[in-house]
């Protein structure tokens, strides 16, 4: 499906902050998150554990911890301001216009209800139609997500299905009300590798067929690189780089993105046999206010000034956005690698 970037975005988030009070002080989990998402688009949100990927999605669905305080310059979904919406109003949007798929299907499925009851319940809760219509749609969607003998499966309980089948059921539940947006939070992490690839390509296929927007959350840039239109890289509660997936992955600007890409052998053409790179150090504490770039203790390009000022948000001519004190030209030059040695001709010596 062609994405109309001239149209207003389906989701528009600017300056999203979220903090959670703890006994040690306020945990400033989101520190100004900005991103946009268009109808029919797949955005991959990538970052290390604890960077705020899940919380930022939970916040837009109103599923963040109740004690958290949330503020934003702008948070609209389909033209509607969702920041001021009450929890009941957000509940109406959830499942109906926005749906979420979590990492572990066993925790999102109710173990004491049959698959059929759970599919039908979603549809009925939003007043979409009769029970008979819900059952027909459930069968259609179970078949569509690749589950055979769908009618018989309706009477089964989650524990009677394999992990891969359970995640397909969760996807079918998410699709029951034909939502405009699906957020898939690490949807394949709990599954084995062969099933992971099948589930991801199924999600992409369904997204194109139903024309919905998809946010795919992952800690692994390699997993999402092939199906995302755009990528947003998250670090310590902010998006440090975002842009077209190909550009960001093949020519990363931000030093953190560069580090993430270098950690994935298959994203390093010609360098697969070189030692794997890791990002040294650990994610900083999110407690309390901070000054300067939070990546500075791990950054190979850090200067003294990185500790003193918050890095400015910069935009490239192609629309990529990154947060760093260095310019695009400096980062690009710094990341440009010396050419790999020419291949040795047959019979030659290395
Ligand atoms: N209910 C909560 N109470 C206190 N802190 C929380 C709560 N939920 C999340 N956090 C903290 O917020 C930060 C961001 O968490 P989040 O779950 O969004 O990370 P993530 O990027 O999704 O990580 P992962 O890849 O491990 O899922 C973490 O430091 C986490 O400990
Ligand atoms: S602002 Fe400084 S520390 Fe942060 S990414 Fe840029 S160079 Fe590194
Ligand atoms: Mg998470």
Long-range contacts of 109-112 (CB under 8 A, 24+ apart): 109/158, 109/166, 109/169, 109/170, 110/158, 111/157, 111/158, 111/159, 112/157
H-helix or E-strand spanning residue 34: strand 25-37
Which among 148, 149, 156 is positioned nearest to 115, based on CA atoms? 156
CA of 239 to the centre of ligand 2 (A): 13
Quick one: pLDDT at residue 107? 82
Q: Check whether residue 317 and residue 208 sit in a common domain.
A: yes
Q: Check whether residue 111 and residue 255 sit in a common domain.
A: no
Q: Check whether residue 49 and residue 139 sit in a common domain.
A: no
Quick one: pLDDT at residue 345? 38
CA of 49 to the centre of ligand 3 (A): 7
Q: What percent of the chain has pLDDT over 90?
A: 64
Q: What percent of the chain has pLDDT over 70?
A: 92
**Domain annotation covers residue 234:** yes
List phi, psi (to 5°) of 144: -65, -35
Q: Check whether residue 120 and residue 141 sit in a common domain.
A: yes
End-to-end CA distance of the chain: 48
- State if residue 326 touches ligand 2 by the CB under 6 angstroms criterion: yes
Task: Say how far apart CA 173 and CA 332 lie, in whole Å.
Answer: 44
Which among 246, 221, 247, 250 is positioned nearest to 233, based on CA atoms? 221
- Summarize the confidence of residues 2-21 as an average pLDDT: 94
CA of 54 to the centre of ligand 3 (A): 4
Quick one: pLDDT at residue 266? 66
Domain holding 267, by residue range, is 1-85+181-274+284-337
If one counts every other C-beta atom within 10 angstroms of the C-beta of residue 310, the result is 16
pTM over 0.85: yes
Which among 118, 126, 98, 243 is positioned nearest to 183, based on CA atoms? 98
Q: Check whether residue 80 and residue 152 sit in a common domain.
A: no
**Domain annotation covers residue 49:** yes
Could you say which of 158, 176, 194 is where a domain stops?
Answer: 176
Q: Check whether residue 54 and residue 102 sit in a common domain.
A: no
**Domain annotation covers residue 91:** no
Q: How many residues does the chain have?
A: 350
Could you say which of 176, 195, 228 is where a domain stops?
Answer: 176
Q: Check whether residue 241 and residue 310 sit in a common domain.
A: yes
Q: CA distances (Å), 160 to each of 44, 103, 144, 176, 190, in order?
A: 32, 19, 20, 21, 17
**Domain annotation covers residue 267:** yes
- Summarize the confidence of residues 301-308 as an average pLDDT: 95
Q: Check whether residue 121 and residue 215 sit in a common domain.
A: no
Q: How confident is the model at residue 349 (pLDDT cuts 50, 70, 90)?
A: very low
Report which protein residue has its CA nearest ligand 1's atom 29: 50
- State if residue 306 touches ligand 2 by the CB under 6 angstroms criterion: yes
**Domain annotation covers residue 347:** no
| CATH code: domain of residue 19 | 3.40.50.300
- State if residue 240 touches ligand 2 by the CB under 6 angstroms criterion: no
Task: Say how far apart CA 88 and CA 62 lie, in whole Å.
Answer: 9
**Domain annotation covers residue 120:** yes
Could you say which of 143, 176, 209 is where a domain stops?
Answer: 176
């Amino acid at each position: 499906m062609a994405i109309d970037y001239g149209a207003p975005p389906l989701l528009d988030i600017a300056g999203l902050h979220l903090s959670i009070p703890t006994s040690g002080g306020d945990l400033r989990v989101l520190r100004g998150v900005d991103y946009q998402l268009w109808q029919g688009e797949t955005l991959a949100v990538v970052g290390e554990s604890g960077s705020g990927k899940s919380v930022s999605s939970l916040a837009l669905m109103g599923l963040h911890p109740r004690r958290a305080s949330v503020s934003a310059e702008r948070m609209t979904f389909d033209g509607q301001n969702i920041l001021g919406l009450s929890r009941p109003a957000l509940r109406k949007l959830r499942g109906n216009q926005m749906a979420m798929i979590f990492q572990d299907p066993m925790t999102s499925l109710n173990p004491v209800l049959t698959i059929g009851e759970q599919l039908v319940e979603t549809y009925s809760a939003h007043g979409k139609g009769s029970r008979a219509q819900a059952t027909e749609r459930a069968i259609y969607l179970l078949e569509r997500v690749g589950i055979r003998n769908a009618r018989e499966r309706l009477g089964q309980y989650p524990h009677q299905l394999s992990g891969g089948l359970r995640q397909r059921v969760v996807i079918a539940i998410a699709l029951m009300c034909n939502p405009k947006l699906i957020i898939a939070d690490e949807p394949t992490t709990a599954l084995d590798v062969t099933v992971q690839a099948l589930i991801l390509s199924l999600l992409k296929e369904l997204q194109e067929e139903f024309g919905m927007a998809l946010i795919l959350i992952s800690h692994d840039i390699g997993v999402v690189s092939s199906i995302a239109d755009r990528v947003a890289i998250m670090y310590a509660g902010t998006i440090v780089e975002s842009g077209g997936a190909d550009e960001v992955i093949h020519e990363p600007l931000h030093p953190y993105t560069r580090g993430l890409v270098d950690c994935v052998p298959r994203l390093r053409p010609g360098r697969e046999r070189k030692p794997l790179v890791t990002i040294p150090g650990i994610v900083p504490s999110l407690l309390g206010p901070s000054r300067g770039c939070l990546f500075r203790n791990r950054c190979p390009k850090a200067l003294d000034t990185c500790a003193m000022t918050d890095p400015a948000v910069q935009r490239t001519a192609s629309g990529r956005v990154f947060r760093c004190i260095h310019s695009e030209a400096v980062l690009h030059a710094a990341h440009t690698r010396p050419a790999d040695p020419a291949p040795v001709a047959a019979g030659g010596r290395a």
